[in-house]
Structure 1
Amino acid sequence: MITTPEPQGARARQTRYFRARNAGLRYLKVWHIELGHPGGEYSDVGHHLTPPDRHEPTLLTRVLNERTDEFRGACLRCEWEGKPYAGTGWKEGANEAIEEAHDHVFPGWRDLPAMPRPKGRWDMADGQRLLHQITRLYPEGWAEDGGPLLVWPAPRREPHEPPRVNHARYTIGVARPAKNQAGPGTETAEQKVLF
């Protein structure tokens, strides 16, 4: 019996996934890019021959069994992949994998200031405030290069948000600082905090 080695890299794994799926093979246990994450579009004709101009984080996933999914961070430009994270809860392990992919693509992102989660997509004043804070407080070119936006999450742990139309970066939720630690110029043990 001849077996082919498992491909490395997010783009190659996505190609293998769709080829297995379209051939009627068992495809759920094959690593692939999570739907809605960069590079997760349909393609069975082979991954793009030309990688993106810059390193770009994404999320790989596969089903281990009926109760467990596995996730790992990956890069669309190169063949880098992070270690697998598994969990029995919904999307458990996905945030850790996304964060590891950001460590590869945007070293130092964990030291950036966090801000309150935006109120909504359609709040123009909130969007303008956010853009001003990113351009003023994040490294030059951060927004243009797709660097993540760090926000305080809702009370329960929520999945990090992948890029979407008009928001070309991940939104990564971080722990909200204690009230006595929050404020301009103050720092928690892990991050600078805004507000």
Structure 2
Amino acid sequence: MTKEPRGAVARHTYWQSLPHGERQGVWCIQINQPGWPSGGLNDVEETEEHQPTVLARRTPEGKQQRCGACLGCDWEGPDHRRLNDAIEDANDHAFPDWRNMPSVLPPPPYGDRQRWLENVAKAYPPGWFQRGGPIITMREESNGLHWAMRAPGGGYDIASPHQRPKKEVASTAVQDSLLDQLR
């Protein structure tokens, strides 16, 4: 058995080189995570900057394993069963200060998305989203799941531990309060 390489790009390239029947138990970039090639058949490109992603594999027992990884270097985090844990590890590596960023309400379903983007950008460090940094959003519908490539710059949308208020009146007040703080 050939020893697997380290790093998200190298592991995914190795996984792609194997015949379909030999991929069981081999790490690859998890589908729908940053770096996953369109259709899964194209080359993965390494980035020059640290960019978080998630590797996945299925054990011989059929259990799913995941680990945070980086598209810019060969860093890999510990194994996890939960996707959120792997995503958080990867963001800890690429954006060590992300846990100190403010939680914000998600963009309004109908309304001025550009104004929302401008206000959120003021709450985060300059260039944060351009570098692919995550956003932390208060959502009631997410069940606490983190979403890949949903932040303004293509980074992760991380579910805040604080849920969005369920009452419309309270939600409007929180939104107005947030906007006032950002001005």
Band the TM-score falls in, shorter-chain normalisation: 0.7 to 0.9
Equivalent in the alignment of 2:137:
151
Question: Which structure carries more helix by proportion?
Answer: 2
- Contact 2:117/2:152 (<8 A) preserved: no
| Structure 1 residue 37 corresponds to structure 2 residue 23 | no
Letter in 2 for 1:4: T
TM-score (norm 2): 0.79
TM-score (norm 1): 0.74
Alpha-carbon distance in 1 for matches of 2:143, 2:122: 28
- Contact 1:117/1:153 (<8 A) preserved: yes
Query: Which of 74, 78, 81 is 1:79 aligned to?
Result: 74
Ranges in structure 1 where 5+ consecutive residues have no aligned partner:
87-92, 186-192
Letter in 1 for 2:34: P
Equivalent in the alignment of 1:90:
none
Ranges in structure 2 where 5+ consecutive residues have no aligned partner:
166-172
Deviations 1:2-42 (A, max 9, x none): x321210000110111112xx23331321111111111113
- Contact 2:36/2:44 (<8 A) preserved: no
Equivalent in the alignment of 1:135:
121
**1:43-192, aligned counterparts within 5 Å?**
43=41, 47-48=44-45, 51-64=46-59, 68-86=63-81, 93-120=82-109, 123=110, 125=112, 127-154=113-140, 157-163=143-149, 168-176=154-162
Q: Match of 1:160, SS?
A: coil
Give the fraction of aligned pairs with identical amino acids, expressed as a percent. Answer: 33
CA RMSD, aligned part only?
A: 2.9
Alpha-carbon distance in 2 for matches of 1:56, 1:94: 16
Aligned residue pairs total: 169
- Contact 1:134/1:143 (<8 A) preserved: no
Structure 1's consecutive aligned runs of 4 or more residues displaced over 3 angstroms after TM superposition are 164-167, 182-185
Q: Match of 1:73, SS?
A: strand
The 1:27–1:178 alpha-carbon spacing in structure 2 relative to 1, beyond 3 Å, is closer
